[in-house]
Amino acid sequence: GNSVTQMEGPVTLSEEAFLTINCTYTATGYPSLFWYVQYPGEGLQLLLKATKADDKGSNKGFEATYRKETTSFHLEKGSVQVSDSAVYFCALAYNDMRFGAGTRLTVKP
């Protein structure tokens, strides 16, 4: 079946550090891939998406590229801010939505 595997957290970084959160997927077809972000006490917000191989999704300085050959969709940001502290979920959609376990990011001043 379809599934998503995310890197274990928590991740703690200093402000302006480079961020990578790894995500790999297993799917029988050609899913769309997403990153959602959840700030404390809130719902999930769609951060970015990619619908086909080699697509790059980007938003608010975050980027992720749909890599079919490595079945990956890693989230990156060049310079994190304290306000980026949140839980990040990788997800895929192919007939249904599957979420990764989530990665908690804490950014310290």
Tokens found for residue 57:
């999704």
Q: Catalog residues that contact other proteins under the rule CB under 8 A.
A: 30-32, 34, 36, 41-46, 49, 51, 89, 93-97, 99-102, 104
Nearer residue to other proteins within complex by CB, 36 or 80: 36
What is the closest distance, in whole angstroms, from the C-beta atom of residue 32 to other proteins in the complex? 4
* Cβ closest to other proteins, residue 49 vs residue 74: 49
Task: Quote the CA–CA distance of 62 and 37 in Å, as a whole number.
Answer: 11
The DSSP-derived string for 25-45 is EE-SS--EEEEEEE-TTS-EE
Minimum distance of other proteins from residue 79's CB (angstroms)? 26
Nearest CB to other proteins, comparing residues 4 and 19: 4
- Minimum distance from CB of 92 to other proteins (Å)? 8
Q: In angstroms, what is the minimal distance from the CB of 38 to other proteins? A: 9
By C-beta, is 13 or 93 nearer to other proteins? 93
DSSP summary character for residue 53: T
**C-alpha closest to that of 75 among 13, 66, 31, 16:** 66
CA atoms within 13 A on the CB side of 2: 18
